[in-house]
Amino acid sequence: MNSRARTPFIISVSVILGVIIGYFLIPSGGSGNSVLKGGKMEYVLSLIDAQYVDKVDIDSLEDVAIRSFLADLDPHSVYMTAEEIKKENEALQGNFDGIGIQFRIIEDTIVVVQTINPGPSQKAGIMAGDRIIKVNEKNVTGKEITNEKVFKLLRGKSGTKVSVSVKRSGIDKPINYSLTRAAIPIHSVDYAGLISENTAYIKLSQFSANSYDEVHSALVKLKKQGAKQLLFDLRGNGGGYLDQAVKIADEFLAKDELIVFTNGRYRGRNDYFATSEGVFEEGKIIVLIDEIAASASEIVAGALQDNDRGMIIGRRTFGKGLVQEQKTLPDGSALRLTVSRYYTPSGRCIQRPYISGDPEKYYTDFIERYANMEKHTDTISHADSLKYKTKKGRIVYGGGGIEPDVELPYYVYKKSDYYSTLLKKGLIYKFCFDHIDRNRKAFKQYKDGSDFLNRFSVSENLLQEMLSFATEQKVEKENLSDAESSEIKQLMKSYIAQNLYGDEYFYPLFLLVDEDVQKALPYFKKQ
């Protein structure tokens, strides 16, 4: 239900890191025994409950205590409340219950970006651009409205009802809808399509419960359309389920090739091998990675790299080589406890270093890495002990993420300072969204997305309007090169297409100005 509007040049480090922390690899399990059973912890809490001078919430104290001692283990062993677990599971299980909209909060108002198909809102007739002003007869506009509050209002158990009032451009009176919440699908494949006669592109955003099925279906369809080589985009993919990573890697590897193995103090070693079921074992493949790609993404990239299957291109991955298992507690909360490490086929554990008891430094180092990328100095030293060999004898390294076969600089910093500022502040996207919102009637001349792609172009006047908007947002105007102006126009068209017609029409345009993609494509000829 949250807006899928992409501002691909903006890094929201805090959000990204939160996602990475939350992802786990082994599905839920555990004994259900209380972590506080017996010992000093229970005694101290009972003493506080019985004799402390003021009334205290023992449950809250338990939560604090658990989080405190988990922090002394590793950065990925975490405690989560029942509500936090519910939210995370919604994303990984592939659906949530709600009304089926993508939205943004603009000027203290909930604005519908798209309705989700299938979903209650689409069936009822709610449209992109509608402003939600009431939910269950209560006003939902103003500075207090947040994404979190919108989720609480609109999400709910499937089959329950919610009333929504919307203000629609050109209609004086609000329109009232009575909606019945339903299961809303969450797709992990953002886009799959041909970007040339024989080159396919798949963008995978996470490894959820349905990811393998989505990737498999996409591969089958693309092969029928003539795809002989694949650009598999794992940039920004923070991970997910281990079994999904194994199944997806199996699509590209021959029978009995090792995909990954895990090893833990109590778990021992567990090997995962490819089967004969892969549908893309022969075609050329390039995997795009970046500094956010973690966990399950690193399993796939590491498996293909160590088996000398295709090429890995981009920037060094996050470096999460610890495997968590979820242990459910009696009150519905859970521990995600690190139980083993995973290793690529060559034997690499690519978990980057951390200091037990100092998770803050772990993520501070990550943030500093962005600063280094701005200076084009994202480097890592290699000890001989971290040297490994692929199946064909190529040297690869452990100890800090998957290093690509071909490294690409963080391209936003290669632009002029002015262009980079427009990108990093998300001003190009915001202008395009606002422009659509003001001119929806004008865009009705295009009968569908294909008609839009064929006939619409960003004029010089519209470009100047966007630059004037940026000036209003306190970005001092500077001259753009002809190449930058042309690129911004293409980017604007892609954002407009996305908001009007969805990702199916966004990606074919956006990929033309995605520098990572354009730099990677020539390497198909070197395989």
The residues assigned a catalytic role are 295, 306, 320
User: Angle 501-507-508 (CA atoms, 0-180°, nearest 5)?
Assistant: 100
Write the CA distances from 265 to 206, 268, 338, 339, 340, integer angstroms: 28, 6, 11, 8, 7
Give dist(CA 202, CA 132) in Å, integer.
34
316 CB-near residues (< 8 Å, 6+ apart): 289, 291, 378, 380, 400, 401, 402, 403, 404, 407
Element of type H or E holding 373: helix 359-374
Give dist(CA 342, CA 345) in Å, integer.
10
Tokens of 299: 């399993």
* CB atoms closer than 10 angstroms to residue 359: 20
Give dist(CA 291, CA 400) in Å, integer.
11
- The answer to whether the CB of 49 falls within 8 A of the CB of 58 is yes
Tokens of 120: 């209650």
Q: What type of residue sits at position 440?
A: R
How deeply is 37 buried, as exposed, middle or buried, from its count of CB atoms within 10 A (0-12, 13-18, 19+)?
A: exposed
Provide the angle, in degrees to the nearest 10, between the axes of the packed helices 482-501 and 503-510. 170
Give dist(CA 406, CA 401) in Å, integer.
14
Give the three-state DSSP class for 156: coil
Give the three-state DSSP class for 479: coil
Give the residue from 252, 274, 275, 296 showing the smallest Cα distance to 92.
Answer: 296
Tokens of 423: 């990108």
